[in-house]
Chains A and B, each alone.
Chain A
Amino acid sequence: MMKPIMAVRLLLSFALLASASLLNAAEDAKVDFGKDIRPLLSENCFHCHGPDEATREADLRLDTAESTLSVIQPGNSAESELIKRLFAEDPDERMPPEDSEKHLNDEQRQLIKQWVAQGADYQQHWAFVPPVKPKLPVVKNKAWIRNPIDHLVLSQLESKKISPSAAADRTILIRRATFDLTGLPPTTTEIQQFLADDSDNAYEKLIDRLLASNQYGEHQATSWLEVSRYADTDGYQNDRYRYMHVWRDWVIMSLNENKPYDEFLIEQLAGDMLPSASLKQQIATGFCRNHRINSEDGSIAAEWHVENIVDRVDTLGTAILGLTIGCARCHDHKYDPITQKDYYSLYAYFNNVPEWGVGPNNGNSPPFIDVPKSWPNISPEEDKLIEPDPLVLTNARKEAGNGLQRPQAGSKTTLMVMKEMDEPRDTYVLQRGQYNMPDKSEKLSPGVPNSLNSAMAKQPSNRLELGHWLTDPANPLTARVAVNRYWQQFFGVGIVKTSENFGSQGEMPSHPKLLDYLATHFIELNWDVKAIHKEILMSATYRQSSNVSKKMSQLDPENRLLARGPRFRMSAFMLRDQALAVSGTLSDTMYGESAKPYMPPNIWKAISNNKYVQDKGENLYRRSLYTYWRRTIPPPSMMNFNAAAREVCVTRTELTNTPLQALTLMNNKTFVEAARFLAERILNEGGKTETERLTYGFQLVTARQPTAAELKLLISSLDSFSKKYENNDVDAEKLLKTGEKPRNQSINLTQHAAYTMLASLLLNLDETINKN
């Protein structure tokens, strides 16, 4: 496997970049342990000389300063055992050993040697040290600065002698911000109003309007639903139905109400334990029940009970702490200071739910509550915690020799929630992570890893205290992980690219001070999510044009330096919602049971024993976050565009660019029907002349006017489509029958078909499917 530095070199040489590498700072500068050395030690050495005691060789660990100093003489690399071993000629002496499949190249070994020669300054891993608000660096181009974010971005650009890009056009800006905050395109009226507003704070007013819209909460919920592995089915084998949409509604409401992020987390982890808890706070705990539940006949309940809790712990790690805690399930973590005992101490927080390891045949698994019929408009009297019914087990087919017991099932009107048992279950380390191999020599109490608790003396004793511990300002990770995910959403890549892993094997932040500024500022703002979103969107960094020179695109293909604005393909959810919105068919109904829009025929039946029954009418046009999510057969057109599968917590999916995406956008019923209605809109609202109409249609999808060259191409394509459907009513009829919503018969058939193809072309434009 190639190491990152090598790969960068390869990339550069491959791209035949003649100029000296701008990414590599001066060679003789002081080596930065955190940035340069720790990743090398982690990748190549920690496996045998790291946190895991069981596999540690020679009683040496290189993940702590103390032990590392036993093989180093700071300032004297020649006399340092570590350096001798790295450079040893004898294969028996050399580290890493041949059979480890690990390899340090010359450059990397020299770097370590240089670090020792410079005094071997060893620091704790950055992410385990609480963030400190940085001082803003001095920059030259002060005129460019709009807020502290820009200071921290620009100072790095100036150190590399790179200029930021010009501000984006206002049409691009309104489209970008509207998509980023609401997941929808701006309407033509909104564009006109914004362009006509020449006040100094026109852009700020735009942002405030978007933050206050109902669509904000819907869009921001989407990424949290993926993180929370929210779905409408249980996820194994027959993939039984469950009912969790009330929890989804709670997420949307909370985001629209701008519930502070600390409360947002505490309520989801332990809303049921809050003093005089409300029903809404209890509903929030559905977060901890979103994991898959196995209901396959023949299963062993004790085995799958463990998997439920493991999923809660792993989700806590990935979603909130940005740590691969799950690695410590079977053994001590190989790279981060999390022992197997730490893992099961975290497990103990989630092990006291009166649940059963196997689910019922369809329906919610206990504990669940009956949600009042008035939801989501519950009265203050109704907003009180409901005591879930106790678990009842039945053994359906005992006479046939079947030993499986199942719990009672919750109906459509119920929601799975958390509840503490009066007597907590005993928790032990499970050897090798096996449900039937507890190490009964030591009973564990709930607790958080000591390595993350340095600034806080007391161990949280239950789920609620765990929630408070996570959102304590001294927690090194929670705020950083949150703001990083916001950044990732707006810019495509997080400041820490590995948004799921801030540990030793994660990527270093591209802008450590920016990350710490945002994290500390977020806490200062009392975890005000809308405020931190606004701060990011108000920055000059965000407002840059995304156009890129060939040189910069080769030098910085992922825009990690932020010398330009974000440009990347939109999510599956945004693409479908955009098509519905510009065609005027999008429903603005919020909340409720999941909708079942168009799917390929027999989507479920072809490979499973269930049948997808598609909805009719308005439910075909609901926003995509309401689309029914069957875990084992997720909506294929969404999966084509890299939606998360909702099996486990996922904080990022990569953005692919494939032929199957082209097929979806060209031929999928949803998008062809949207093209039909986009065509109707263009013909009804676009004006009298062809030029006016094409301009209008182009503006609906891109927010801007076409250039002369673009208009010429649009006219020429419309001509070719018109020729095709002239005197060909049969084909025109066929095309206009795609989808269930009937067409407006008063429109000329040929014209409608030709404009439908033109509209389809508009929906397939690269600019349409990208946030620019």
Chain B
Amino acid sequence: MTPNQEHALNINRRYFFGKSATGLGTLGLASLMNTDLFAEKKQEPERIGGLPGVPHFAAKAKRVIYLFQSGGPAQMDLYDYKPHLKDQFGKEVPKSVYPDDRKTTMSSAQASFPVAPSKFKFSQHGEGGTWFTEIMPHLAKHADDICMINSIYSEAINHDPAITFLQTGAIVPGRPSIGAWLSYGLGSMNEDLPTFVAMSSKGSSKQGQPLYDRLWGSGFLPAKHQGVKFRNQGNPVLDIYDPAGVDRETRRAMLDHLAKLNQLKYEETGDPEIQTRIAQYELAYRMQTSVPELLDFTQETKQSLEMYGPDVNRQGSYAYNCLTARRLAERGVRFIQLFHQGWDHHGNVVNLLPKQCKDTDQPTAALIADLKQRGMLDDTLIIWGGEFGRTIYSQGKLTEKSYGRDHHPSCFSMWMAGGGAQGGMTYGKTDDYSVNVAEDGVHIHDLHATILHLLGINHKRLTYPYQGRSFRLTDVHGKVVKPLLA
């Protein structure tokens, strides 16, 4: 979309907001959105903003809940089962399989790179016989909804570039995040909440790797597409509550007078931006009601609260965020992203990994079940995964009881559920050591292309002109991985 076209859409929105602000009601939107300007393609009637002609084809998923596991979960301890490595315990990982120049400088100076087979038991679940670790018992029950990918690979070996790559399709910061692209392309499905919400929680196992605002940023896209961060302590949305000593009635009185004064200014100057501002103050007022209502779990049944586990009422826990995610999804939020920190297990995997699984296993499984029982799993795409995997060789000392694992981008596991992803299957194979992709590799760009496809978007056609060229989430790469589609 060109800036001029964007401007036309802004004017369109402005008319809508202008009318709603001056009391003529909000019903005009659908009809306004369906003027000739948008005759090219019929849109979801309830939608606000977005690009004409997008989605490019019928979407399987209307929204996404992305459960980001920050730090890099160990694929061979969770999903990528390597039973025969038990015999290789302590033997060197061959340099032909794992050359030195692909190791991080954190472990590259080790004298030895001994194989550390997983200490965890695995078993098969569901009709597809998907392998799961013993420390994800709740999740394993949903094997038939899960589309397991064991052959994801990335290009970055350190946290910052790797997580930035997953989130924006580029290693170096500056590009829009996935959620921002979707906001830009698909617009919003609700009036009172942002269309892209990010949340974070700290893991129980260890201090997590830091997160950065750019992970839910809009890059070079207009800033309105950036994710709104729901904070994990205190006010969920910055400045959402009125100051102490100001009640809703007083706020209303203030806004009514403000609107009238601004209206006088509009009549004098003719600047249409003033109408938008009046409307944005009204939207802010509505958000002040809708956000607390969203986070009020007292309306949830005991059964549904229990399903998410004991942490569900603790703000800033993964369980709390999972339930919030479901409530956001119900309210038409397009892209909901959770970040759970603490998966960066350079040492002591045996003790730390189960703690991370305990944080996340039950709530994740509950989210799948909850969406399913509400008939929302079919059009909600759930994505689970971190920024890279971990090494098969032990970082630090290998003992019978303990091992550490360094960063490993060349193969790792992610999964999807719902939203048009094929459940009950396992895609891709790694070599005997879980070091390289052996079959059906899925590059991050391919993953992005596939996610966009499920949302009805041709990844090559969702572009934005910046610095003289058309940018897209998948840069100049990416292919849709058809076998993953239901």
Complex contact A335–B468 (CB within 8 A):
yes
Q: Within the complex, what minimum Cβ distance (angstroms) separates A114 from chain B?
A: 23
User: Which among A246-254, A379-387, A618-626, A731-739 touches the partner chain?
Assistant: A731-739
Q: How many of chain B's residues touch chain A, expressed as a range?
A: 35 or more
Contact B407 A761 (CB under 8 A): no
From residue 194 to 233 of chain A, which have CB atoms closer than 8 A to chain B?
Answer: none
CB-contact partner of B105 in A403, A656, A666, under 8 A: A403
Residue pair B231, A600 in contact (C-beta under 8 Å): yes
Q: Answer yes or no: B240 CB below 8 A from chain A CBs.
A: yes
Bound Cα distance from A549 to B270, whole angstroms: 6
Q: Is A20 an interface residue (CB 8 A)?
A: no
A546 CB contact (under 8 Å) in B108, B174, B271: B271
- Specify which of A298, A600, A660 is in contact with B406 (CB 8 Å cutoff): A298
Q: Which residues of B contact A398 (CB under 8 A)?
A: 109
**CB of A457 closer than 8 Å to a CB of B:** no
Q: Point out the residue from A497, A602, A656 that lies within 8 Å of B223, measured CB to CB.
A: A656
Contact, CB under 8 Å: A721 / B287: no
Q: Does B254 lie within 8 Å of A717, measured CB to CB?
A: yes
Q: Is B58 an interface residue (CB 8 A)?
A: no
Q: Does A555 contact B (CB under 8 A)?
A: no
**Shortest beta-carbon distance, B37 to chain A, in Å?**
5
Q: Are A237 and B465 in contact (CB under 8 A)?
A: no
Query: Within residues 433 to 477 of chain B, which ones have a CB less than 8 A from any CB in chain A?
Result: 460-461, 463, 465, 467-470
Give chain A residues whose Cβ lies under 8 Å from the Cβ of B468: 324, 327, 335-336, 498, 501, 503-506
Kindly state the separation between the CA atoms of A647 and B12 in the bound complex, as whole angstroms. Answer: 33
Q: Which residues, 105 to 158 on B, are CB-close (under 8 Å) to A? A: 105-111, 157-158
In chain B, what residue has the closest Cβ to A769? B277
Q: Is A193 an interface residue (CB 8 A)?
A: no
Given contacts A1-B470, A10-B37, A757-B254, A548 and B270 within 8 Å (CB-CB): yes
Contact with B261, one of A546, A547, A633, A710 (Cβ below 8 angstroms): A710
The yes or no answer to A617 lying at the interface (CB within 8 A) is: no
| Least CB distance, A685 to chain B, in whole angstroms | 22
Q: Which residue of A lies closest to B2 (CB)?
A: A7
**Which residues, 694 to 746 on A, are CB-close (under 8 Å) to B?**
707, 709-710, 713-714, 716-717, 720-721, 724, 730-738
A765-B469 contact in complex given A14-B37, A731-B245, C-beta closer than 8 Å? no
- CB of B2 within 8 A of CB of A716, answer no
Q: Which residues 312-339 of B have a CB within 8 angstroms of A?
A: 316, 339
Residue-wise, chain B 235-278 has the 8 Å CB interface mask toward A (1 for contact) of: 10111111111110111011001101110111011111110111
Which of A30-38, A151-159, A366-374, A634-642 lies at the binding interface?
A: A634-642
In Å, the complex CA distance between A631 and B449 comes to: 29
CB distance from B397 to the nearest CB of A (A): 10
A672 located at the interface, meaning its Cβ lies under 8 Å from any Cβ of chain B in the complex: yes
Q: Contact string, B1-20, partner A, CB cutoff 8 A, digits 1/0?
A: 11111011001100000000
Instruction: Say how far B88's CB is from chain A's closest CB, in angstroms.
Output: 20
**Is residue A25 within 8 Å, beta carbon to beta carbon, of the partner chain?**
no
Bound form: Cα–Cα A667–B470 in Å: 39
Q: Judging by beta carbons under 8 Å apart, are A15 and B253 in contact? A: no
Q: Does A108 contact B (CB under 8 A)?
A: no
- A299 lies within 8 A of chain B by Cβ: yes
Option from B234, B245, B258, B261 in Cβ contact (under 8 Å) with A733: B245
Q: Chain A: which residue is nearest B4 at the CB level?
A: A7
- Contact between A648 and B264 (Cβ–Cβ < 8 Å)? no
Answer yes or no: B283 CB below 8 A from chain A CBs.
yes
- Would you call B281 an interface residue if the criterion is a C-beta within 8 Å of the partner chain's C-beta atoms? yes
Q: How far is the CA of A326 from the CA of B471 in the complex (A)?
A: 14
Is B159 an interface position by the 8 A CB rule?
yes
Query: Are B396 and A659 closer than 8 Å at their CB atoms?
Result: no
Query: If A602-B234, A659-B283, A667-B241 touch, does A607 touch B200 (CB 8 Å cutoff)?
Result: yes
Chain B residue with minimal CB distance to A716?
B257
A236 at the binding interface (Cβ < 8 Å): yes
- Bound: A126/B233 CA distance, A: 54
B173 within 8 A of A: yes
Question: Is there contact, CB below 8 Å, between B250 and A757?
Answer: yes
Shortest Cβ distance from B4 into chain A, in angstroms?
4
Query: Which residues of A sit under 8 angstroms from B316, Cβ to Cβ?
Result: 606
Task: State A766–B246 Cα separation when bound (angstroms).
Answer: 21
B207: Cβ under 8 A from any A Cβ: yes
- The one of B8, B211, B245, B467 that contacts A501, using a Cβ cutoff of 8 Å: B467
Contact partner, B260, options A401, A662, A713, Cβ 8 Å: A713
Residue of chain B at shortest CB distance from A698: B261
Are B258 and A765 in contact (CB-based, < 8 A)?
A: yes
Instruction: Please report the C-alpha to C-alpha distance between residue A753 and residue B257 in the assembled complex, in whole angstroms.
Output: 17
Task: For the complex, give the distance between the alpha carbons of A765 and B35 in Å.
Answer: 33
Decide yes or no whether A190 CB sits under 8 A from chain B. no
Contact A656 B222 (CB under 8 A): yes
Which of B37, B233, B284 counts the most chain A CB atoms within 10 A?
Answer: B284
Whether A557 lies near B254 (C-beta < 8 A) is no
- Complex: how many Å from CA A506 to CA B37? 26
Cβ 8 A contact of B258, one of A547, A569, A764: A764
Is there an interface contact between A238 and B210, defined as CB atoms closer than 8 Å?
Answer: yes
Determine if A143 is an interface residue (Cβ-Cβ < 8 Å).
Answer: no
B239 engages A1 (CB within 8 Å) = no
> Closest residue to A550 on the B side, CB-wise?
B270
Cβ proximity bits B359-402 to A, threshold 8 Å, 1 near / 0 not: 00000000000000000000000000000000000011000000
A403 to B182, CA, bound (A): 41
Residue in chain B with minimal CB distance to A608: B210
* Chain A nearest CB, measured from B141 CB (Å): 32
Other-chain residue from B217, B239, B240, B262 in contact with A766 (beta carbon distance below 8 A): B262
Q: Which residue of the partner chain, among A14, A661, A710, A736, contacts B35 with CB atoms under 8 Å?
A: A14
Judge if A609 is at the interface, Cβ distance under 8 Å.
yes
Q: Do A761 and B274 form a contact, CB below 8 Å, given A663-B237, A734-B245? A: no
Contact with B along A42-76 (1 / 0, CB 8 A): 00000000000000000000000000000000000
Report how far A764 CA is from B212 CA in the complex, Å: 30
Partner of B460, one of A101, A500, A567, A662: A101
Q: Do A402 and B106 touch across chains, with their CB atoms under 8 A apart?
A: yes
Q: Which of B195-222 contact A (CB under 8 A)?
A: 200, 207-214, 217, 222
Residue in A closest to B231 when the chains form the complex, CB atoms? A606
Is the pair B264, A709 in contact by a Cβ cutoff of 8 Å? yes
Q: With A327-B469, A403-B109 in contact, is A667–B8 under 8 Å at CB?
A: no
- Give, as a whole number of angstroms, the nearest-CB distance from A635 to chain B: 10
A748 at the interface (CB under 8 A from B): no
Chain A nearest CB, measured from B289 CB (Å): 12
* A233-244 vs B, Cβ < 8 Å mask (1 yes, 0 no): 001111100000
Give bound CA distance, A516 to B143, whole Å.
67
Max count, chain A CB within 10 A of own CB: residue among B8, B288, B470: B8
Would A663 and B287 be within 8 Å (CB), given that A101-B461, A550-B270 are in contact?
Answer: yes
Q: Which residues on the B side are within 8 Å of A13 (C-beta)?
A: 36
Q: Which 7 residue pairs of A and B lie closest in terms of their CB atoms, listed nearest first? A: A505-B468, A735-B245, A734-B245, A401-B110, A298-B104, A608-B210, A632-B212
B residues near A (Cβ < 8 Å) are 1-5, 7-8, 11-12, 35-37, 104-111, 157-160, 172-174, 200, 207-214, 217, 222-224, 228, 231-235, 237-247, 249-251, 253-254, 257-258, 260-262, 264-266, 268-274, 276-278, 280-281, 283-284, 287-288, 316, 339, 395-396, 406-407, 460-461, 463, 465, 467-470
Having A296-B160, A663-B238, one finds 16 other A-B pairs with CB under 8 Å, namely: A1-B470, A3-B2, A235-B173, A296-B158, A298-B406, A299-B104, A335-B468, A601-B234, A606-B200, A607-B212, A667-B239, A720-B253, A761-B254, A766-B277, A767-B265, A770-B271
Interface residues in chain A, defined as those with a beta carbon under 8 Å from any beta carbon in chain B: 1-4, 7-8, 10-11, 13-15, 101, 235-239, 294, 296-301, 307, 324, 326-327, 334-336, 398, 400-404, 497-498, 500-501, 503-506, 546-550, 553, 557-558, 567-569, 600-602, 606-610, 632-634, 636-637, 639-640, 642, 645, 647-648, 653-654, 656-664, 666-668, 672, 707, 709-710, 713-714, 716-717, 720-721, 724, 730-738, 753, 757, 760-761, 764-767, 770, 772
5 contacts between A and B (CB under 8 A): A235-B173, A298-B157, A402-B106, A602-B233, A766-B266
